[in-house]
A and B are shown apart, each in its own frame.
Chain A
Amino acid sequence: MASDDFHRAALEHLDALYNFAMYLTRNPPEADDLVQETYLRAFRFSHRFQPGTHLRAWLFQILRNTFLTFYRLRERESALAEDGVPAWDAPMFHDAPEESSGAVEAHTDLERALRRLPEEFRTVLLLAEVEGMALEDVARVLACPVGTVKSRIFRAKERLRGLLRDYTKE
């Protein structure tokens, strides 16, 4: 795929990637950073993309890996900070259940419940149900077998249902 064609095709998925980033980070500035970093990496490593495979899944995979990389960095940094080591620059992303100052509030029970799911469950629902990805593509994004995707979807929905029931009782 020619470079210009690749760029054009990749940009067609910008809205979907941003939506996914928003549900991962819950914070617009961090979602911006995540999407920018995703595209930067995608363009830098475009020669690794195999034409004929699903570009959309490849981009989502980069975005999720980028998110997890910075999330793990944040986890490690927090642990060091608690030990009294001076903190360095703020991390790009976080996945803490607490709302940060710039976080977008959940408006519905469904959003609130989704937020409380672990990242693996949240991601699998967002990709399979919201983005409508084929199970094979979801498996590629998550780097796991299709069977694992199916079981995660099942368990994620179970958890979601339980949370929604709790909200109904409240």
Chain B
Amino acid sequence: MSHHSPESDDALGARLRTELRRYSAPAYLRGSVADTTQTPRVRPVWLPPILAAVATALVAVLVAIPFLPRILPADPTERLVRSVVAEHTRALMWGARRPESVPTALPWLTQESGIGLTKFFGGDDRLVFVGAEPVYLEARRGIALYYRDGDGHLVTYTVLPAPGLPIPESRRVQIQNRWRPALMSDDGFSAWVWRQGDLACFIVSDMVSQADIENFKDYFARLRVSTEPVPATQ
């Protein structure tokens, strides 16, 4: 069977190289090994701790976001709207701190808020008066009147002293050919903003859809006609 002398080392080496069968890798094995190269790369050892730390920080930030101070807008009108909306939200969640019945409490309210009401809207078939209270927003004393409509919307009418407060022209909306308040929005709430002398007036509600805005215009008209705030010093 052998053709070489088994005595010589070189001859034996040559036999091993030439006589032994040479096995080639089958095609399927080549394919599956090549697929192995597509397996995900080994992550650097420092990556998992970093990812864990980033994930933890992200969760902490998400939890803390509601408690973080919000960046105040530079525009004074927007800043006041934000404060008024925040007060409306507080009343919406926890109710007025000291709801008082007007007009019995009017002298007290005028004294506390520095705002007098020569005319006062006490509610009608669309809006029910809920209460009134003095407020202190953006270092200004003012008054807030709360109403609720038939659909359960809370409507807050706030008056603050703000001489010369600019009303953004681009936001103005014509209502009944008589008034042109600005319709502003903040944090998902709508707010009518206008000026009466040295006072800034705001009506806030969560009425944001097109149909709601039509009702909101109506509420503005009702409140605007029937309420006349003046600085208490006058």
Question: Measuring CB to CB, which residues of chain A are less than 8 angstroms from any residue of chain B?
Answer: 3, 7, 11, 14-15, 17-19, 22-23, 28, 31-32, 35-36, 39-40, 43-44, 47, 107-111, 114, 125-126, 129-130, 132, 157, 160-161, 164-165, 167-168
- Apart from A19-B22, A110-B20, A111-B20, what are 11 other A-B pairs with CB-CB below 8 Å? A7-B37, A14-B30, A18-B24, A22-B23, A23-B20, A35-B33, A108-B19, A109-B2, A110-B19, A129-B16, A161-B12
Complex CA–CA separation, A14 to B36 (angstroms): 13
Contact A129 B17 (CB under 8 A): yes
Bound state CA distance, A109 and B30, in angstroms?
A: 31
Shortest Cβ-Cβ A-B pairs, 3 listed? A18-B25, A7-B37, A22-B23
Residues on A with C-beta less than 8 A from B24 are 15, 18-19
Q: Which of B13, B21, B29, B41 is close to A36, meaning CB atoms less than 8 Å apart? A: B29
Our pick among A19, A157, A165 for the contact of B23 (Cβ within 8 Å) is: A19
Q: Closest CB of chain A to B5's CB: distance in Å?
A: 10
The dominant DSSP class at the A interface is: helix
Q: Which chain B residues border A165 with CB–CB below 8 Å?
A: 6
Among candidates A3, A47, A108, A129, residue contacting B13 with C-beta atoms closer than 8 Å: A129
| Pair B6/A161 contact, Cβ less than 8 Å | yes
Residues A35 and B12 in contact, CB atoms below 8 Å apart: no
Contact pick for A32, options B20, B29, B39, B42, CB 8 Å: B29
Which B residue sits closest to A167, measured CB to CB? B1
A157 and B12 form a contact (CB under 8 A)? yes
Contacts of B42 on A, CB cut-off 8 Å?
44, 47
Contacts of B9 in A (CB 8 A): 157
**Chain A residues near B21 (CB-CB < 8 A):** 107, 111
Give B contacts to A, CB under 8 Å: 1-2, 6-7, 9, 12-13, 15-17, 19-26, 29-30, 32-34, 36-37, 39, 41-42
Contacts of A28 in B (CB 8 A): 26
Q: Is the CB of B17 within 8 A of A11?
A: no
In this complex, what residue of A is CB-closest to B37? A7
- What would 17 A/B residue contacts be, using CB atoms closer than 8 Å? A11-B33, A14-B33, A15-B24, A19-B22, A19-B23, A32-B26, A35-B25, A35-B33, A36-B33, A108-B19, A108-B20, A110-B2, A110-B15, A110-B16, A111-B20, A160-B12, A161-B6
Residues of chain A within 8 A (CB-CB) of B20 are 23, 108, 110-111, 114, 130
Interfacial chain B residues near A160, Cβ < 8 Å: 6, 12
Once bound together, how far apart are the Cα atoms of A3 and B36, in whole Å?
A: 13
CA distance A77 to B2 in the complex (A): 39
Minimum Cβ distance to chain A for residue B9 (Å): 6
Which residues of the partner chain B approach A126 to less than 8 Å between Cβ atoms? 16
Q: A164, B6: Cβ atoms under 8 Å?
A: yes
Known: A18-B29, A164-B2. A36 touches B19 (CB 8 A): no
Bound form: Cα–Cα A44–B43 in Å: 10
Distance, CA A44 to CA B40, complexed state (A): 9
Interface pair A15/B36, CB less than 8 Å apart? no
> Which chain A residues lie closer than 8 Å to B2 at the CB level?
109-110, 164, 168
A108 adjacent to B1 (CB under 8 Å): yes
A40: chain B residues within 8 A (beta carbon):
36, 39
Nearest chain A CB to B48's CB is how many angstroms away?
16
CB neighbours (8 Å) of B6 from chain A are 160-161, 164-165, 168
Cα-based distance from A17 to B30 in the complex (angstroms): 12
Are B1 and A14 interface neighbours, CB within 8 A? no
Q: How far is the CB of A129 from chain B (nearest CB, A)?
A: 4
A39: chain B residues within 8 A (beta carbon): 33, 36
